[in-house]
Amino acid sequence: MINISPSIASSNLLDIRNEIKKVENSNCYSLHIDIEDGNFVPNITFGIKLINLIRKETNMPISYHLMVTNPLFWIDELPLRNNDIVFMHVESYQYPKYIINTIKNRGVDSGIAFNPSTSIDNYKYLSAICGNIMIMTSEPDRNGDNFIEDMESKIIKAKEYNFNNIWVDGDINAERIEKLSKIGVTNFVLGRYFFSKNN
């Protein structure tokens, strides 16, 4: 099964209500919210106030992608519902198992995310408690950066390590969805590709 999660950060934010409706009308798996704090990555996207407004605007599941240096703050503040999922970056915290359990204690699913330069080998043990892994397939938050072909080997390894749901995020299009689904990817975060096709 192929699950699509459009990233609202890549939409026309001046018309965010209608952009959310586009996602709702496209039979997508979730609405994806990239939370960037200006420290973990250079850009700043959404604060809690706007995230709360987005959450009130839709009943869709939301996949939150925490590209932040202090994930604990955000996990505590997010307006989470039962079908949501929260991804934390392993690079942001020394004890990812603690973060995973903190997310689960909020009553939602958890996931771990990896920048392209980070090996997943030291995190194999987490597959026993966390079935979701997100592999960044381009450098995060660098507009125009291209898909990194070497990430395919990381995807194959994630499947070997028994992560149930393999997500990819970064310069994903229809051709890559077809190719990557054949090697085990189940969930695709789409940004500019989705919103440009639906304008």
Catalogue the active-site residues.
34, 169
Where do we find the tokens 């994806």?
32
Q: Show the tokens assigned to 154.
A: 């990381």
Beta bridge partners of 133: 112, 166
CA dist list (Å): 21 to 31, 48, 52, 115, 165: 10, 21, 16, 30, 26
CA 173 to chain CA centroid, nearest Å: 16
| Helix boundaries (H) for the chain | 16-24, 48-57, 71-77, 96-105, 151-160, 174-181, 192-197
Cα–Cα distance for residue pair 78/187, rounded to 1 Å:
22
Closest to 163 measured CA to CA, from 181, 184, 179, 189: 184
User: Residue 90: what are its φ and ψ, rounded to 5°?
Assistant: -65, -25
Look at residue 155 and give its three-state secondary structure. Answer: helix
Helix pair angle (16-24, 48-57), 10° resolution: 50
